[in-house]
Structure 1
Amino acid sequence: MDELILFDMMRQALLLAVRISAPMLAVALVVGVAIGLFQALTSVQEMTITFVPKVGLMLAVFWVTMSFMTTALSDFYTGQIIPLIAGG
């Protein structure tokens, strides 16, 4: 396998990982900032106030975007990885 093919495949895989994880990370960022602002304004410093809503919303976003994630990974493997393996 040529090094350029390997590096291109790694670049595409990392870009796919960023695209797949972006919705959940964006929700975690927005919820974290909103709850942090709420805690700063009210002086309530409870750890579960930050953790529970963040995990709940991330699970909801994961459930909503699960078909997108599965399709993206399946397309990557069938279009890029498997032909590379089969081609030698």
Structure 2
Amino acid sequence: MPEAVIYDTLREGLWIAVQISAPLLAVALVAGVTIGLFQALTSVQEMTLTFVPKVGAMLVVFWVSMSFMTGTLVSFFTGTLIPLIAEG
């Protein structure tokens, strides 16, 4: 197998990893900044206040975007990796 095919497959796999993780990371960033701003404005320094809402928001986004993540991974495996393995 040529090196170019390996590099292209690796590049595509990394791009898919970025696409799949982007919604969760964006929600974690927005929730963290919002909660941090709320804590700074109210002087409430409770550790569970930062953790629980952020995890809750990430669970909701994960549940909503799970079909997108699964579809993206399945199409990558069936369209790219399995043919490469089969041609061996």
Under a length normalisation based on structure 2, what TM-score does the superposition of the two structures give? 0.98
| SS of residue matched to 2:44 | coil
Q: Which residue of 1 aligns with 2:12?
A: 12
Is 1:46 matched with 2:46? yes
Query: In structure 2, what is the Cα distance between the partners aligned to 1:38 and 1:57?
Result: 16
How far apart are residue 65 of structure 1 and its match?
A: 0.5
Match of 1:65 in 2: 65
Identity percentage over the alignment? 69
Distance apart, 1:32 and its partner CA: 0.2
The CA RMSD over aligned residues, in Å, is 0.5
Structure 2 unaligned regions, length at least 5:
none
State the alpha-carbon separation in 2 of the partners of residues 32 and 8 from structure 1: 35
Tell me the residue number matched to 1:27.
27
How many equivalent pairs are there? Answer: 88
CA deviations on 1:45-81 (whole Å, 9 max, x unpaired) are 1110000000011011000000000000000000000
Query: Displacement of 1:22 after TM fit?
Result: 0.4
